[in-house]
Structure 1
């Protein structure tokens, strides 16, 4: 690893906690050197020697301005924390309805196969952390990082774990990733909360002061209508965790392109909603 620094996560946390003058950070307030970012959005310069290697996974659809804002902010934040990292953005070809869970599973496998990461942070495209001291690392338990969302004035409900969620590789494999069967807005985060609970992994959540995120305003995505069937699907999806997720991903999508863009790796896939649901009809209609 190039330019490894003689520090560790605890050193960096203590350094940030001692900064009593810290205020909320904006889009352009953290130092960053984009010239040190390798193609595909990977950064290996000036990392703490014992820090985790982190993959940021962003499921994306039709929000280019938000994506550019969030990716640049993440580079600033992660470099300020002396982390080695890679940023992965997965997109589903239109006109298939958005499937956040499937996109995150595909991006996870891509990142795992090429980066050997210690920590995977599943990150909505419209959220910006407002605290530099909010470390982007994994712990012994799954960690809900976005404990305060300005869109909701906190959390929309107590079991909500959407927004930004940190899982180490063991966590992801134990819960079999996300469900592949929820098309449209809503449901995948609730099902993940059930999986974490059912597998007895536990869950941590940082304080609302540290886990404060600004939600960037946006209109409803044209390819992401509300999934009105999600509540009816919860019970059967919960019974089939081991059959719906990473283990069933093969054959559900076609990889169209992987591009090493300057600030992130772009993963472009296509799938057919009808075919995906039909292949899993025993789960969907079970």
Structure 2
């Protein structure tokens, strides 16, 4: 292995040293200069150093001029930079103040808007409060009007006429006469009334207060007329009661029977036909008179001929107009709730107007007790009709036994009259009754018509 000679080593070392010196000079001339605590670029250091030499006594004029120009340029650029910084600071402060003023303005506007909203809110609340007050006042007025309407309705029910009836009472010869009226648009009453209760407890000796009876039966007008207020009745029934000296029985009848008629949803009116004078009681003639007077008073579909002392014990025994003549008082407590004989047709019967006129009503010849109901049965059968009876389980009646009324005398001629009943029925009856009305008075729950039979009061 050949190693380099010493001359080569010295040559290489000399080249290296020259390069190091050259690079170090460049670094010294161009690198940074540290003065005190500051480190600045060497070119700037030379400018500052030249400026200092320019003002020193030993500096040349050319150097001084060059250095003065350099200093002037440097100072102008430095002043420009300082001015730009100041302007930027002032502009920043102005912008900050403007932003602050804008913010304050917006805050004040927000406060104003909030204040206006609060004022509007208070005004709205006051308006709401006032509207609520007005609404309460209106509701109070509506409540008062409703109370007045209810009061008027109660008064209307106690007047002589009702707006929901088919009949309108007019005054003819100082007597109320019923004429047909346009029927209000109501649905027909149900065939099976919904408010029936079935068996009833009857106290035949009850002390009756008629004012209480009236209060418990609203809608029954003065004179004993009633029509269902919520539906159109299917049946218009005139209740005809032959009467004399039975005031106690009549009170008990009103107390128990009027609520039954109302629950059965029939239109009805109660006619009490009182016989004047001291002649023997003639039930058949009084019933004929009652039918004629009721027919003058209203357009009744049927007539219920009702003894005043029979009180129904089951309201499912309906007082509706029948297809055939109907016998209602099938089972009476006096007869142990049994039908005495198959042709019995007394006590309580219902016939339509056509049926009653067809048989010419009752005979007028039965004075005293007994015979007129059997005569009526013969008239029905001889005119080609048959009677109908409800089930004895519902057609139950209690007979009221009074202590102050006179019992009618038994008619001794009743059997001889019955033997000629079919021969007399065309001339003896509804078409031959003779009477004179001596009084007519309307009470709270019935109308009483007092008559003199055959025009005579005393016999």
Q: Verify same fold: TM over 0.5.
A: yes
- 1:221 Cα offset (Å): 4.8
Query: Residue 238 of structure 1: CA displacement?
Result: 2.4
Query: Do residues 232 (structure 1) and 413 (structure 2) align?
Result: no
Indicate whether 1:260 and 2:260 are aligned: no
Cα deviation for residue 92 of structure 1 reads: 0.7
CA contact (8 A) 1:94 1:223 kept: no
Change (3 A) 1:45 1:207: closer
> Given that residues 16 and 133 in structure 1 are in contact (C-alpha distance below 8 angstroms), is that contact kept between their aligned partners in structure 2?
no
Matches within 5 A, 1:210-229: 210-218=394-402, 221-222=405-406, 224-229=408-413
What is the DSSP-based 3-state SS (H/G/I as helix, E as strand, rest coil) of the residue aligned with 1:254? strand
Equivalents in 2 of 1:80, 1:94: separation in Å? 37
Distance (Å, rounded) in 2 between the aligned partners of 1:32 and 1:134: 25
Superposed counterparts of 1:44-63, under 5 Å: 44-46=227-229, 48-63=231-246
Q: Which moved more, 1:78-87 or 1:34-43?
A: 34-43
Distance, in Å, in 2 between the alignment partners of 1:84 and 1:183 is 32
Match of 1:162 in 2: 346
Matched, 1:109 2:271: no
Instruction: Tell me the secondary structure at the aligned position of residue 176 of structure 1.
Output: coil
Partner of residue 452, structure 2: 270
Corresponding residue number in structure 2 for 1:100: 283
After TM superposition, give the deviation of residue 44 of structure 1 in Å.
2.2
Q: Contact 2:436–2:455 at 8 Å: present in 1 too?
A: no
Q: Could you say what secondary structure the match of 1:128 adopts?
A: strand
Residue of structure 2 equivalent to 1:181:
365
1:76 corresponds in structure 2 to 259
Shift of the alpha carbon at 1:222? 2.9
1:23 to 199, 211, 215: 199
Name the CA distance, whole Å, in 1 between partners of 2:315 and 2:378: 30
Aligned to 1:133: 316
Please report the TM-score for the alignment, with normalisation by the length of structure 2. Answer: 0.54
The change in CA–CA distance for 1:178 and 1:157 in structure 2 (over 3 A counts) is: same
Q: Distance in 2 between matches of 1:274 and 1:110?
A: 19
Task: Kindly provide the CA deviation profile for residues 251-278 of structure 1, in whole angstroms up to 9, marking residues without a partner as x.
Answer: x221101111111110101125999x9x
Superposition deviation, residue 45 in structure 1: 4.1
Q: Distance in 1 between matches of 2:339 and 2:404?
A: 20
1:156, distance to aligned residue in structure 2 (A): 2.0
Aligned-residue Cα RMSD (Å) equals: 2.6
- What is the CA–CA distance in structure 1 between the aligned matches of 2:340 and 2:230, rounded to whole Å? 36
CA–CA distance in structure 1, aligned partners of residues 280 and 223 of structure 2: 26
Hey, what does 1:36 align to over in structure 2?
A: 219
Question: What is the DSSP-based 3-state SS (H/G/I as helix, E as strand, rest coil) of the residue aligned with 2:291?
Answer: helix
- Given that 1:57 and 1:87 are in contact with CA atoms closer than 8 Å, whether structure 2 keeps it comes out as yes
* Residue ranges of structure 1 left out of the alignment (5+ in a row): 278-286
CA contact under 8 A between 2:238 and 2:303: conserved in structure 1?
yes
Matches of 1:34 and 1:163, distance apart in 2: 25
Q: Which moved more, 1:176-185 or 1:34-43?
A: 34-43
Count, aligned residues: 268
Deviation at 1:175, TM superposition (A): 0.6
Verify: 1:8 aligned to 2:192, yes or no.
Answer: no
Alignment partners' CA distance in 1, 2:188 and 2:239: 22
Following superposition, the deviation at residue 26 of structure 1 comes to 3.3
- CA deviations over 1:213-246 (Å, ceiling 9, x no partner): 1111235953621101100111223211010111
Cα distance, 1:37 vs structure 2: 1.4
In 2, Cα distance between equivalents of 1:220 and 1:188: 25
Spell out, residue by residue over 1:192-220, the C-alpha distance to the aligned partner (whole angstroms, 9 max, x if none). Answer: 00000100121100110111111112359
| Alignment-derived partner of residue 200 in structure 1 | 384
Larger Rg: 2
Q: Which moved more, 1:240-249 or 1:150-159?
A: 150-159
- 1:282 aligns to what? none
Identify the structure with the greater helix proportion: 2
Per the normalisation by structure 1, the TM-score is: 0.86
Gaps of 5+ in 2: 1-162, 166-183, 207-212
